[in-house]
Amino acid sequence: MEDRWDATASQLADEVAECVYCTRLIGADPSLVLHGGGNSSVKTTWHDITGREIPALRVKGSGWDMASIEAAGLTPLPIDRLHELLALDRLSDADMMRELAAARLDPAAPSPSVETLLHAFLPHRAVQHSHADAIVGITNTPGGADAVAEIYGDRVVVVPYVMPGFDLARLVQEVWADQAHDDTIGMVLLNHGLFTFGDDSATAYRRHVELITAAEQWLERHAPPDATATPPALPEVLVEDLAELRRLMSEAAGAPLVVRRHTDEVVRRFVSRPDLGDLSQRGPLTPDHVIRTKRVPMVGRSAADLASYAASYRDYVEAHRARAREDITPLDGAPRVVLDPELGMLSAGRTAKDAQIAADIYHHTMPVLARAEDHLGGYAALPAGDIFDVEYWELEQAKLRLGGSLPEMAGMVGLVTGAASGIGRACAAALLGRGAAVAGLDRSPDVAEAFGGPAWVGIPVDVTDAPAQRDAVRAAVERFGGIDVAVVSAGVFGPSRPIADLDPEQLRVALGLRTDDLLTEDD
Ligand code: ZN
C-alpha cells in the first residue's frame, strides 16, 4: 500500500483536522475504499455554547466520501450516550439510527455511520476503517481466517462476518474481550475489511499502511497476479445490438438505464475465462457492494439470458424474504453488471454516475476473484442470505419507501450535434439539467470539455463526414447504451440573403448534405 503521508501535513491544526487528513489519504486509494465505503473517527472534546466540555466521538457521516471529507462530515456525538446504547441487549438498526440522529451534538451534522457504536467501543482515540481489496481478497477464501493469522499473528483481532450495525458492535465487544491486548493494532472483519487504531490518526493511518502492505506481500507470494499475454481485442459489436440490450434491461428495471460498455484489459482477461459462468456467480467481495452491483452479474447477452437473470433474481428474493424484519419491497430484476465474452463488460445504473460506480466496483472485483480462484483454493463469497440482508436492510428499504427523487430524464440518453456552442450547447445543458446523459458532437475540439461529470461525453467530429459521424454515434452508444433523444443543431450558415439568391452549393453545406446524399441510385 502506498504511504501517502506528507511530512508538511504535520502542522495540522487539531485532532479533527488530522482525522480529516488521514481519512482523505485512505479515501484517495481506490484499492482501499470505493464510493462511500469505509469510515473513520476520533475521540475528542466538544465545546458547547454554554461552555460545557463534552467527551465526544467525531465519526464519518453518511453522504461524505472519505476522499473528499471535511470536518463538517465528521458528526459529533456524546461518548457517554453511545456507551449507553452499546449496553442494550438488543436494538434494531432503525432504532439505533434514530437514537444516533437524536444524540448528535450538532443537528446540522450528517447522519452518522452505521458503524458508529463500533467506533465508540474501540478503546483507542483514533480509528481508520477500509474495505481493502487485499483483505477481502484473502478472507473470501476457504483458508482466509488461517491466512490472516499467518500474516498478522496476534497483532489483530479477527471478527467473523456479521452485518454492520448494532449486532456487529456487540459481537466486536465479545471478540475484543477474548483477543485484544496491549499490542493489538488492528482488527480484521472477515469478508468485510480492516480497522486500525492508535492514540492519534497518524498512528492509525501508519498501521493501516503496515497491515495492508503485509497482506499485499502475502498475496504476491501466494497468488501472483495474472501476467499472461495481453488478452485479444473483442470483436466489433453492432450498436443496434447494444441499444436493443439496453432497451430490454431498461424494461426489466421498469425505468430507463444508462448502460456503459467496458473493453479494457482487466475486462477482456476476465470475460475470456472458461469458468466465467461459474466464478462470477458466487457473490460480491463485501456485502455493501450489493447495492451497486446486485449480488451477481448477468453472464451472456441475449433476451433469454436477461429473462433468466430476472427470474433467478425473483427466486433469490423469494428464497430469503423471510429473513427481513419487515415486509419488503422487491427491487427490480435488471442486472447492473453484464459479462459476455464478446461484449466485454456492461455496467448499468439509473444515472451515468451509478453506471460508473458499478463499473468501478466490478473492475476491482474481477482480479480479486481470479487470484482467489487460481491460487488460494477458490473464491468463496458469503452465503446469499447475508448478501440479501444488506440489500434488503431496513434502512435501505425505508429510503425506497420515501421515494427516490431522481430528475425527470434520469436514465435517458441525448445526442446533441453542434453541442460546443450556441443552441446546441444550451440544449445539452437543458438535457443534463433534467438528469439525462448526453453525448455532444461538434466540429470544435472544445466539445470534449464543454461539460464535466460522468453524464457527459463530448466527441469532436465533423457531422458532414458520414463515416466519422457513424463512429461518433457508436462511441455515444458504447458510453451510454443507446440514444433516446436527438437534437440536430449543427449548422454552417453563409451570409444572409433571399432564398432565390442562395448559392446551391452553400445551401447544401448549410444543410449538411453531401453530393452522394443527393445523387443516389434511386435518383
Ligand atoms: Zn465497513
Between vectors from CA 45 to CA 80 and to CA 50, what angle results, nearest 5°? 90
- Taking the C-alpha atoms of residue 2 and residue 265, their distance in angstroms, rounded to an integer, is 23
- Taking the C-alpha atoms of residue 496 and residue 509, their distance in angstroms, rounded to an integer, is 14
For helices 201-222 and 144-152, the axis angle rounded to 10 degrees is 120
pLDDT of residue 499: 67
End-to-end Cα distance, the chain: 67
Higher pLDDT, 314 or 503: 314
Ligand 1 centroid, distance to 192 Cα (angstroms): 6
Ligand 1 centroid, distance to 37 Cα (angstroms): 6
Q: Residue 191, SS3? A: coil
Ligand 1 centroid, distance to 131 Cα (angstroms): 6
Query: What cell was used for 358?
Result: 458499478
* pTM for the predicted model, two decimal places: 0.88
Inter-residue contact 287 to 297 (CB < 8 Å): no
Ligand 1 centroid, distance to 87 Cα (angstroms): 22
Report which listed range, 28-32, 80-84, 325-329, 406-410, is most confident.
Answer: 80-84
Higher pLDDT, 7 or 114: 114
Ligand 1 centroid, distance to 115 Cα (angstroms): 7
Judged by average pLDDT, the poorest of 122-126, 413-417, 430-434, 485-489 is 485-489
Three-state SS letters, 424-461: HHHHHHHHHHCCCEEEEEECCHHHHHCCCCCCEEEEEC
CA distances from 496 to 94, 153, 500 (A): 67, 82, 12
Q: Is the model's pLDDT at 126 over the cut of 60?
A: yes
- Taking the C-alpha atoms of residue 367 and residue 266, their distance in angstroms, rounded to an integer, is 7
Ligand 1 centroid, distance to 309 Cα (angstroms): 28
Ligand 1 centroid, distance to 421 Cα (angstroms): 45
Q: What is the pLDDT of residues 211-247, one digit of tens each?
A: 999 999 999 999 887 767 788 899 888 999 999 999 9
Ligand 1 centroid, distance to 61 Cα (angstroms): 13
Residue 68 phi, psi dihedral angles, 5° rounding: -130, 20
Ligand 1 centroid, distance to 80 Cα (angstroms): 23
Ligand 1 centroid, distance to 400 Cα (angstroms): 22
Task: Kindly report the average pLDDT of the chain as a whole number.
Answer: 91
